[in-house]
Amino acid sequence: MEQLLEAVERLYPDMVGWRRYLHQHPELSYCEKETAIFVARKLREWGLEVQTGVGGHGVVARLKGNGSGPTVALRADMDALPIQDEKLTEYASKAKGIMHACGHDAHTSTLLGVAKAMSEHRSLLKGDVVFLFQHAEELSPGGANSMIEAGALDGVDYVYGIHLWTPLPVGTAYSRSGAMMAAADEFEITVTGKGGHGGLPHETVDSIVTASQLVVNLQTIVSRNVSPTEPCVVSVGSFHSGTSFNVIAETAALTGTVRTFDPELRMEVKKRVEEVVEHTCHMAGADYKVDYKLGYPPVINHDAEVERFFRAGSKVVPCEPLALVMAGEDFSYYLHHRKGCFMFVGAGNKEKGIIYPHHHPRFDIDETSMLHAARLFVSMVMDCQKG
C-alpha cells in the first residue's frame, strides 16, 4: 500500500490542477457533457476500460487487478450548481451563474488521482477496481439510479464514496454505522382562493393569509407529531404570491423539504403534510394542490464497512464518528445494492478563510483534503482486497 500512497502524494499537484480546471468550467446536473469527456480522456490515457454515456453522462472505468479478489467500486459526482461564483480567486468559475459550490470538482479530481495511481501499480491489486464518475447528484431523481440500471455495479462486491465537507476540519475523516444522511423529500403547495380588492377583504378568500397559516401549521408536524428523540425537519423554502400592494392575490405557492431517517416516519410525515394542507385550506374556504415528491432515501451504511473505515482508514487519516447529517445524497442507492459505506473528509480551514458552507457563493475547499480523501480510498480498497 505504501507505493500507492506515495503515488497519490506525487499526483497531488495534478489533482489540484484538474480540480481548478473543472472549477472554472462547471456544468449543471444532466449537462455534464464536457466534464465527462475530460474524465474519459484521462482514464483512457492511463489504460483503463472506459464506458461513457452510462445512464446519462456517467462514466464507468474498470481497472483489472493482478489476481483474484473482490471488485471494489469508488464513486465521485461531477455536477455543479446554479449559483454565481463570488470567490476572488484565479480559478473562479467562468460560467455565469454556475459554480462548483459543493466540492464535486474535487471529488472528480480526487478519484482521477486514485485511478492514475492504481493504473501505475495495478500489479498490487488482487481484484478489479471500478471508478464511477456520476452525473446529476444535485438534482432529483439523480444519476445514481440510472447508472445502476445501466449496469454500473455489475460484478461489483463493495462500493465506497467520499464527500469533502467544509464544516469539518481538514486532516480528519468521519463516518457512522447505519443511517448517516437523511431522506430528502420535496413538496409544492398551491393555494387558490378568491382574489379581490385589498380594501374589501370580506369579499375575497385570501390565499396569502391561508398560505401563511400553512407555513406555521406545517411546523407543528415536527413539534407535535414526531417524537422529540426522532430526527425530522420540515422546512418551507419559498413563498410566492401577489403583484400589488392593494390586491388580494388569488393564488399563493409554497415549496419546501422534509428530512427524515426512519422509513415509517417518512411516510407518516408525508401523510401529515397532506392533511395539514387539506384542513387549513378547508377552514379558509380555499382550494389547494399538493405535489409531494419522494426524493433520495437515507444513506444507510453497512456496519462491517464502517468498521473497515475505522480500522483501515485510521492508518492514513484520523477517523472519528459522525453525527447525523440532515443533507441528502443519492449514494444511498448504491448501498441498497452492494455492501459499502459513505465517508466524509474534512475540507474546512479557518486559518485559510475556508469557512463558507456548501452551496454558498463563496464556497471553497482546502485542497489538501483531496490528498486525504485519495489516501482513504486507497486504504479502503487495499484492506478490502487483502482477503
Q: What is the DSSP string of 268-320?
A: HHHHHHHHHHHHHHHHHT-EEEEEEEEEEPPEEE-HHHHHHHHHHGGGTS-EE
Q: Determine if residue 138 is labeled as part of a ligand binding site.
A: yes
What residues are annotated to the active site?
79, 137
Output DSSP code: residue 356: P
Based on its alpha-carbon atoms, the radius of gyration of the chain, rounded to whole angstroms, reads 23
Please check whether residue 182 is in contact with residue 324, taking contact to mean a CB–CB distance below 8 angstroms.
yes
Please count the other Cβ atoms lying within 10 Å of the Cβ belonging to residue 103: 28
* Dist. CA 99–CA 114, nearest whole Å: 24
Q: How far apart are CA 219 and CA 234, in angstroms?
A: 7
- The reply, when asked if residue 358 is annotated as ligand binding, is no
CA distance 39 to 354: 27
Strand partners, 301: 178
Q: Which cell numbers in the block locate residue 127?
A: 481484484
Confirm or deny that 120 is annotated as ligand binding.
no
Residues in Cβ contact with 162 at an 8 Å cutoff, skipping those fewer than 6 apart: 76, 107, 110, 342, 343, 344, 345, 373, 376, 377
48's enclosing H/E stretch is: none
Is 149 assigned to a binding site? Answer: no
Beta bridge partners of 189: 254, 290
The residues, any chain, with a CB within 8 Å of residue 91's CB and separated by 6 or more, are 20, 21, 23, 24
Contact 253, 240 (CB under 8 A): yes
- 359 is known to lie in a ligand binding site: yes
- Residue positions forming the annotated binding site for Mn(2+): 102, 104, 138, 163, 359
- Residue positions forming the annotated binding site: 102, 104, 138, 163, 359
